[in-house]
Amino acid sequence: MKSAFCRFIAVMFSGVLFPLFSQENGGEGVGFRLVEPVRPAPAPARDADPAPAAAPAPERIRLDGRNPAATASLTAEERAALQLALEGDGVRGRSGNMILPGMQVVVNVLVQGKEEIRTNPQRINESGRIALPLILNVPVANMSLEEIENRLAELYSEYFREPHVIVEFIGSTDDPYLSPWGFVTLMGNVARPGPVAVPPTQNMTVSGAIKAAGGESSSANTTSITVFRPNLEANSVERYSVNLRNVGRRGNHEDDITVKAGDVIFIPERIF
């Protein structure tokens, strides 16, 4: 039994361990060196995936309303939208960004961050005045919200130290012409073409304006929407090309640009 075990050890040494050594010095004394095991070559480094290309910014073209050649490539509907933008009605609204009789406002007076006065919605009467605590009837018609805030802060400084006054317009988008923030105009293939009031937050996007107008029609081409943005001082218009399909399918939210008062948004018909 013991001899069999010794033979097993000898076989294992000669067949497994011995190949790891090589004999040196031509038999004059035996020396051995350790043979490093062969390791597979490392796999070539994989190139990093290229970063996704940035989505192109919406096309922006400057059109000069005094130069007919600049508009030669536009369709008749697009030229109508361009002309409407140049008129600039929506930039300030037909109220001229002014508070008019019949409108409603809420007045909030803060002193060192503490609310001292907050009114219920106050309607501007026919004489252009509102009734407020302490300062009674104050004329505010044909003034902007900022002008009203400054005037009320001046009056309330008789009662409070450094009051901060906030005046909020309380209105309905049913009549966008009366919005102090102006309006945008929808043309083409939407459910309700016409003006849409810019909200107080002034963060409405192209898709939000279309939704406010009842949504696009079934024949609308939402890949080629054009936004005409007026620059009344330069008598020119900037044209933005907007592809809302990139927003829905690819998540390119930068394509859904924020609209500004006076913008005219044209949604063309899809060609079948």
Q: Does pTM surpass 0.75?
A: no
Examine the pLDDT at 235 and tell me if it is beyond 80. no
Predicted confidence (pLDDT) at residue 167 exceeds the cutoff of 80: yes
Q: Provide the pLDDT confidence category of residue 172 given band limits of 50, 70 and 90.
A: low
For residue 178, the 8-state DSSP code is: G
**In angstroms, rounded to a whole number, what is the distance separating the alpha carbons of residues 137 and 129?**
6
Q: Cβ distance 196 to 209 under 8 Å?
A: yes
Cβ-in-10-Å burial (0-12, 13-18, 19+) of 175 comes to middle
Tell me the domains of the chain and their CATH numbers: 59-95+176-267 (3.10.560.10), 104-170 (3.30.1950.10)
Please name the residue that has the structure tokens 């009605």: 89
User: For position 34, what pLDDT does the model report?
Assistant: 36
Mean pLDDT value of segment 220-235: 86
pLDDT > 70 in the chain, percent: 68
User: So what's the pLDDT on residue 97?
Assistant: 65
H and E: helices and strands count for the chain: 6, 14
pLDDT tens per residue across span 181-192: 788 999 999 999
CB-CB contact of 91 with 228 (8 Å)? no
pLDDT confidence tier of residue 44, bands split at 50, 70 and 90 = low
Assign 210 to helix, strand or coil.
helix
Which positions ≥6 away from 250 have C-beta within 8 Å? Answer: 55
pLDDT digits (tens, 9 = 90+) for 106-155: 999 999 989 999 999 888 898 999 999 999 899 998 888 889 999 999 99
Q: What pLDDT does residue 180 have? A: 74
Q: Closest Cα to residue 253, out of 205, 199, 181, 192?
A: 205
